[in-house]
Structure 1
Amino acid sequence: MSDTWDWGTSSDGDRAPSTDLRTDIPHPARMYDYYLGGKDNFAADRAAAAKVVELLPSAPAGSRANRRFLGRAVRFAAELGIRQFLDIGTGIPASNNTHEVAQASAPDSRVVYVDNDPIVLAHARALLQGTPQGRTAYVDADFRSPGSILDAPQTKELLDFSQPVALLSVALLHFFPDSTDPFALLDQYKSVLAPGSVLILTHGTGELMSPEVARSIEAVYTASGLNITSRGKAEVLRFFDGMELVEPGVVPVHEWRPDGHEDDRTMTREEIAGYAGVAVRRG
Structure 2
Amino acid sequence: MQHEGDFSFVIDFKKGSGNPRRVFDAASALIDAFQSLDRAVLPTLDGKIETSLVLEDVASGSLRVRLANALRSVDEDALKSGDWKRLAGGFANGVRLRAIRYLDKEEDAQPRLGEFKKDILADAVQTDVRHLPDYAPLHDGRLIAALDKLQRAKAELEVGDGLVVEIGKSEYTVDLKETWLPSETLKTVPAQPIEKENILELVLTVRRPDMLKDTMWQFMHGKSNVSAAMRDEPWLDEYHARKIPIYPGDALLCTVRVVYSYDEKGELIDQRTEVIKVHNVIPGSIQDDLPL
Which interval holds the TM-score relative to the shorter structure?
A: 0.3 to 0.5
Would you tell me which structure has more helix in proportion to its own residues?
Answer: 1
| Rg larger for | 2
Q: TM-score, normalised by structure 1?
A: 0.34
Q: TM-score, normalised by structure 2?
A: 0.33
